[in-house]
Amino acid sequence: MEIKFNWIGGATFILSIGNLTIACDPVLCEKGTVQDFFWFKSKRIEQPIYSENDFEAIDLWLITHNHEDHLDEIGMSKISDTAEIVCNKNSYTILKNNKKNKLSVLDRKETKTFFIKDYTIEIKAIPAIHGINPLSAFFAGKVNGYF
């Protein structure tokens, strides 16, 4: 079975295991984009590298949280309506508002099993720290990691 890992940039990657495709946090804004969170700023310093069809066949999306440097407008448009989506609580609303229906909200330490194609996949949400230092991590709040 072939395993491929394609890092797009930032927190965005596509993991292909055989014909199963899992992707994480679609953030595809241009290099130089600044997201202003009032207290904090986030600046992209490299261009994301991807082709338009990279996201066509994603079976499962993992969304860590709803900040724009992890889930932006361009990225949102790449999530197909047929894909399963695992997200944390605070990203649920924005995904729902964008008509993404196959949503599974996982709180930290919760697990969910998916049966996609011929695969059985168990996804566990694990505590993750988001921020460049403890202060920004505190303000950024709880985000999910996935195992």
Partner 1 sequence: MNYNLNFFITILPYAFALHNLEEVISMGKWTKSIPKSIHQEVTTGQFAIAVGLFTLLGFVVILAKNFFPTREIYFLFVSGFAGMLFLNTFFPHLIATIYLKKYAPGIVTALLINLPLSIFILNSIHKLQILNIQQISLSVLFGGLIGVVLAYLFLKVGYFFTTKRWK
88 and 103 Cβ atoms separated by less than 8 Å? no
Greatest alpha-carbon span in the chain: 46
3-class DSSP state for residue 75? helix
Q: Does 42 bind partner 1 (CB under 8 A)?
A: yes
Q: Enumerate the β-bridge partners of residue 2.
A: none
Q: Does 131 bind partner 1 (CB under 8 A)?
A: yes
Q: Which is nearer to partner 1, 10 or 26 (CB)?
A: 10
Stretch that binds partner 1, among 41-49, 84-92, 93-101, 103-111 (CB under 8 A): 41-49
Q: Does 12 bind partner 1 (CB under 8 A)?
A: no
- What CA–CA distance (Å, rounded) separates 139 from 134? 9
Q: Does 74 bind partner 1 (CB under 8 A)?
A: no
Q: Taking Cα atoms as reference points, which of 2, 22, 20 lies closest to residue 12? A: 22
Q: Does 66 bind partner 1 (CB under 8 A)?
A: no
Give the one residue of 43, 93, 138, 141 binding partner 1; rule: CB under 8 A: 43
Residue 5 phi/psi, 5-degree rounding, is -120, 120
Give the one residue of 1, 2, 3, 38 binding partner 1; rule: CB under 8 A: 38
12 and 28 Cβ atoms separated by less than 8 Å? yes
Q: Does 115 bind partner 1 (CB under 8 A)?
A: no
Q: Does 41 bind partner 1 (CB under 8 A)?
A: yes
Q: Does 145 bind partner 1 (CB under 8 A)?
A: no
Question: What is the token pair recorded at 103?
Answer: 């949503």
Interface residues toward partner 1, by CB under 8 A:
9-10, 36-46, 69, 131-133, 135-136, 139
